[in-house]
């Protein structure tokens, strides 16, 4: 056995045992009727929710505006004036993208105004979210003509993550499609393309960088090298083209290292807001980081025997860990858990038990807890329920990964749901 083979076979296990309800698949006639009924209900619900989010809520906008600062920076790039010319001590949304991302976003500056560009960007994000959900439906072994797709659309567009992505006009919808493309290309063995897509996502939001661990765990060097090379090359190309590029290192990077005490759902944000003692914050961060590591290692046992479960759930755990343990976490980043949630359709998944769903719902539920009866408590709940949700999700997945029994023989999971169109 070669060294490569020994490394690749380290810490592997047969696929996890089927964790679906024993009644799954029984009563084919009643199940088919239920599916038709669910689709009949879900399609009008999905269409209504999409139209409402795009044409009403996003069109009206919000005090929180993530787009104007991006368009303004893109315009400065086009006009050849310093891109990072902002007062970063103010609490307004700031332009935080690196020169490589600035180069990719520069076409927005060709549009005459932020007001003209905003509807196009909202529509693009909505289309990307719909496309990602359709792709995830197919990756889960279902057809888009099944009830799963309209149900996923309705549930997704009801979430806080999708709603606020569109209302604040953020780029998360485009990044969800990029994440889905990475997963699909990786599953199909198109390593360089998968790494290139991941690299673009990393350029735009470095929160995706931990996903480079996934090709490393399978010794898929093409994906890893491409994922590293794309951000490096884009920034090298963009650096001399970006006016005031040096300000990114001198101003923006130090700002990113600070933990703000408002609209910040990360553990650090909670610690700063409530004045948590440094030692308590360090202990809690270490415990949660250990939970992330335990989940990643536990799931890695199935990187060969059940690749889709491993890939989708590991992605969710790593990105939830970034949201929880970095200096800034915001609830609408929870959209990136969608691939993990689709494993509920798989033969075995942490999403077959309520704890993981409890964590996901704390992150995604479209609930506003503010009330004149308890204004301060409502504000706390709105900000820090996602913190609890990420933590619960990570711990639940870690516990499941180590507790679930495995199949008795090392064999691929059944073709029923392993066939990827």
**How many CB atoms sit inside 10 A of residue 57's CB?**
15
Burial of residue 179 (CB within 10 Å: 0-12, 13-18, 19+) is buried
Give the pLDDT of residue 19: 72
Please list, in sequence order, all residues whose beta carbon lies within 8 angstroms of the beta carbon of residue 161, skipping any fewer than 6 positions away. 172, 331, 332, 333, 334, 335, 363, 364
Give the pLDDT of residue 334: 97
Decide: 333 and 207 in contact? Cβ < 8 Å. yes
Decide: 171 and 62 in contact? Cβ < 8 Å. no
Please list, in sequence order, all residues whose beta carbon lies within 8 angstroms of the beta carbon of residue 401, skipping any fewer than 6 positions away. 294, 295, 298, 299, 301, 313, 350
The dihedrals phi and psi of 356, each to the nearest 5 degrees, come to -65, -40
Decide: 64 and 166 in contact? Cβ < 8 Å. no
Decide: 248 and 108 in contact? Cβ < 8 Å. no
Q: What span, in angstroms and rounded, lies between the C-alpha atoms of 225 and 233?
A: 12
Give the pLDDT of residue 409: 40
Give the pLDDT of residue 206: 96
Please list, in sequence order, all residues whose beta carbon lies within 8 angstroms of the beta carbon of residue 13, skipping any fewer than 6 positions away. 301, 302, 305, 406, 410
Q: What span, in angstroms and rounded, lies between the C-alpha atoms of 179 and 183?
A: 6
Q: What is the pLDDT along the chain (421 residues), one digit of tens a residue?
A: 566 666 566 678 788 877 765 554 444 555 566 667 777 888 999 999 999 999 999 999 988 899 999 999 999 999 999 999 888 777 677 899 999 999 999 999 999 999 999 999 999 999 999 999 999 999 999 999 889 999 999 999 999 999 999 999 999 999 999 999 999 999 999 999 999 999 999 999 999 999 999 999 999 999 999 999 999 999 999 999 999 999 999 999 998 888 888 889 999 999 999 999 999 999 999 999 999 999 999 999 999 999 999 999 999 999 999 999 999 999 999 999 999 999 999 999 999 999 999 999 999 999 999 888 888 999 999 999 999 999 999 999 999 999 988 765 444 544 444 444 4
Please list, in sequence order, all residues whose beta carbon lies within 8 angstroms of the beta carbon of residue 237, skipping any fewer than 6 positions away. 100, 103
Q: What span, in angstroms and rounded, lies between the C-alpha atoms of 80 and 100?
A: 16
């Amino acid at each position: 056995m070669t060294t490569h083979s020994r490394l690749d076979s380290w810490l592997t296990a047969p696929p996890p045992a089927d964790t679906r309800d024993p009644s799954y698949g029984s009563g084919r006639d009643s199940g088919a009727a239920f599916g038709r009924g669910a689709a009949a209900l879900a399609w009008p619900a999905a269409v209504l929710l999409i139209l409402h989010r795009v044409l009403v809520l996003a069109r009206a906008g919000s005090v929180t505006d993530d787009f104007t600062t991006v368009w303004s920076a893109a315009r400065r790039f086009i006009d050849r004036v310093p891109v990072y010319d902002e007062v970063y001590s103010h609490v307004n949304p700031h332009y935080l993208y690196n020169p490589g991302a600035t180069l990719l976003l520069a076409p927005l500056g060709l549009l005459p105004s932020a007001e003209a560009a905003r509807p196009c960007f909202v529509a693009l994000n909505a289309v990307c979210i719909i496309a990602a959900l359709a792709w995830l439906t197919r990756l889960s072994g279902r057809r888009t003509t099944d009830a799963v797709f309209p149900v996923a659309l309705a549930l997704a567009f009801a979430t806080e993550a999708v709603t606020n992505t569109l209302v604040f006009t953020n780029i998360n919808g485009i990044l969800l499609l990029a994440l889905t493309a990475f997963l699909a290309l990786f599953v199909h063995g198109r390593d360089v393309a998968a790494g290139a897509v991941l690299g673009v996502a990393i350029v735009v939001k470095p929160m995706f960088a931990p996903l480079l661990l996934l090709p490393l765990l399978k010794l898929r060097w093409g994906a890893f090298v491409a994922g590293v090379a794309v951000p490096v090359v884009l920034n090298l190309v963009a650096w001399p083209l970006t006016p005031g590029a040096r300000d990114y290192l001198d101003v923006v990077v130090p700002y990113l290292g600070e933990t703000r005490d408002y609209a910040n759902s990360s553990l650090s944000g909670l610690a700063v807001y409530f004045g948590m003692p440094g030692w308590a914050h360090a202990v809690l961060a270490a415990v949660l980081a250990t939970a992330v590591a335990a989940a990643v290692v536990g799931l890695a046992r199935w990187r060969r025997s059940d690749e889709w479960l491993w890939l989708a759930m590991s992605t969710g755990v790593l990105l939830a860990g970034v949201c929880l343990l970095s200096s800034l976490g915001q609830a609408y980043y929870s959209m990136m858990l969608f691939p993990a949630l689709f494993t509920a359709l798989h033969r075995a998944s942490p999403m077959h038990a309520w704890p993981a769903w409890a964590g996901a719902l704390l992150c995604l539920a479209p609930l506003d807890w503010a009330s004149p009866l308890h204004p301060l408590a409502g504000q706390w709940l709105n900000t820090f329920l996602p913190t609890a949700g990420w933590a619960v999700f990570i711990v639940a997945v870690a516990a499941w990964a180590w507790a679930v029994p495995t199949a008795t023989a090392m064999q691929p999971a059944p073709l029923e749901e392993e066939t990827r169109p």
